[in-house]
Amino acid sequence: MRRLKFKCKVTFLVVLMAFSVLLSCSKEDELEPVKEEEKVNPIPEEEKEEEKEEETGPYAVYVADELTGVYTTCTDGKDNPQRDTADILNPVNVGTIDDRSCYADYEEVDANGIVYGVYNITAGSNHLDAENTLQPRIERSLSRSQTTGIGSYARFTGTVRILEVGKTSSEGSDGTYIMQAKGKHTGGGGSADPAICLYLAKPVYGKDSAGNNVQVSFDLYREQIKVRGGSGASGRDVVFLTNIEKGKPTEVVLEVGFRADPNDASKKIHYADALIGGEAYNFNIPEPERGTQSGIRYGAYRVKGGRAQIRWANTTYKKEEK
């Protein structure tokens, strides 16, 4: 009987131990719960603004007054009998009109709240001078500084917009003058009223929105004398200055005058200094001792083919005589 009880106890202990081992193994084999990785919302990429196509042409407001389409050399009623009579009352532009074109007369137009003087000319439209002699023009002449002392000068400021310039089959004949420095000299040579340097705009072509080949900007040159009274290729150099976008309002300053020569106190320099779009383009005029005047004209002058359309605003003029 005791043996039976002992066997039962042993059996019970064995079973209990086996159960404990089994339970322990079962716990060890149990997989730890998998931790879900925190889902971190990715930082959204900054929305890229659509890149706007670069402006390839001028703002529409600055070319709205451009004349397009078919035109004639002359227009009825624009053949003024004298060159200084085709002006309006109280023009915004300073200076005396010189109109030698039967295509148009001086008028004014508003562009973005600024009033511009309009200078439009066509090839062959000079109805006042002998045929095939002088080029068409509508310009304004400013009273000249008639003295040559150091500190004498003529200074013009304005805002120019170039819409169209003369175009021919020859590059050398392309372009239109937008302003010029003038001044007589001693010792003869050249014309009775010689130019010192002229600012010549030549066309640069590109495609418009319809694929047409049109003038989109203008290379600006200074056509400057080599000697007093110089003209043509032998008497003038043509120097590139800058490029101006079609229709873009561009600030201009032109000063012509006399200053001391920093290298020789006994001499002086006759100069024509320009600021165009904030950049300086200075020119020391040859043979300064021969100069007797400093003058300026501006507008539209020369069109050997096609048509020219120039606009001027905010014009001022000042001179000193010493």
Question: Which residues does the annotation mark as catalytic?
Answer: 182, 301
Tokens of 229: 């009274």
Tokens of 251: 């600030």
**Under 8 Å between Cβ of 83 and 96:** no
Q: Give the length of the chain.
A: 322
Burial of 5: CB neighbours in 10 Å, binned 0-12, 13-18, 19+:
exposed
**Under 8 Å between Cβ of 312 and 118:** no
Long-range contacts of 79-83 (CB under 8 A, 24+ apart): 79/127, 80/105, 82/128, 83/128
Burial of 231: CB neighbours in 10 Å, binned 0-12, 13-18, 19+:
middle
